[in-house]
């Protein structure tokens, strides 16, 4: 029997003081968790259900530089045949989701971006999800009150959470 694991809301930053993923010690715990998954022969895939990155406060280039060890572990997982599916959330999709889904989902190193999404034309929002059999996974920010009216995003006081 194959197994999958779903994680979300890691909010990986740039290892600065504002990066809770690093300062809380969650980085080491997550690496240990991924190494456990690597050894589990029944584990087939990891589904990242949004907010892998903290792109509201950090630049992706800096994140990629600072977390080299994490990317090495993810590459090792892929080499052992594990699939890593990524569903962008609101903290990590805003800068590139519209561009990506207008063209085609692409692999991000060892991570495969989901190719499934809904588009809300009226609000100009994209809601990626992953679906396989009776499993449906999404970040869920489409249900957040702050995503109900994009007129507040252009210059208003509300933002997307």
Could you read off the pLDDT of 52-79 as tens digits, one per residue? 888 778 887 888 889 889 989 999 999 9
Place of tokens 């519209």: 98
Q: Residue 110: pLDDT band by 50, 70, 90 thresholds? A: confident
Q: Is the pLDDT of residue 80 over 70?
A: yes
Q: For the chain, give me the number of helices (H) and strands (E)?
A: 6, 8
Edge-to-edge strands, sheet with 135-138 = 116-120, 125-132, 135-138
Instruction: State the chain's mean pLDDT as an integer.
Output: 80
CA distance 158 to 146: 7
Count of Cβ atoms closer than 10 Å to residue 58 Cβ: 20
Q: Residue 120: pLDDT band by 50, 70, 90 thresholds? A: confident
Q: Is the pLDDT of residue 5 over 70?
A: yes
Q: Is the pLDDT of residue 159 over 80?
A: no
What is the pTM for the complete model shown? 0.79
Mean pLDDT of 69-96: 84
Is 9 or 123 the better-scoring residue by pLDDT?
Answer: 9
Mean pLDDT of 132-137: 91
- The yes/no answer on whether domain 3-115 falls in CATH 3.40.50.720 is no
Mean pLDDT of 111-130: 82
Q: Is the pLDDT of residue 160 over 50?
A: no
Is 1 or 63 the better-scoring residue by pLDDT?
Answer: 63
C-beta of residue 99 within 8 angstroms of C-beta of residue 126: no
């Amino acid at each position: 029997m194959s197994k999958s694991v779903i994680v979300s809301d890691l909010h990986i930053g740039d290892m600065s003081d504002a990066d809770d993923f690093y300062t809380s010690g969650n980085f080491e715990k997550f690496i240990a968790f991924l190494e456990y998954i690597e050894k589990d022969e029944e584990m087939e895939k990891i589904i990242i259900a949004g907010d892998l990155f903290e792109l509201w406060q950090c630049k992706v280039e800096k994140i990629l530089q600072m977390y080299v060890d994490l990317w090495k572990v993810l590459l090792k997982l892929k080499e052992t045949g594990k699939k890593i599916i990524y569903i962008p959330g609101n903290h990590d999709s805003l800068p590139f989701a519209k561009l990506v889904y207008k063209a085609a989902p692409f692999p991000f190193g060892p991570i495969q971006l989901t190719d499934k999404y809904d588009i809300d034309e009226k609000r100009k929002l994209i809601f990626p999800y992953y679906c396989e059999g009776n499993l449906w996974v999404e970040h869920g920010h489409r249900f957040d009150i702050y995503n109900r009216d994009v007129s507040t995003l252009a210059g208003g006081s509300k933002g997307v959470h």
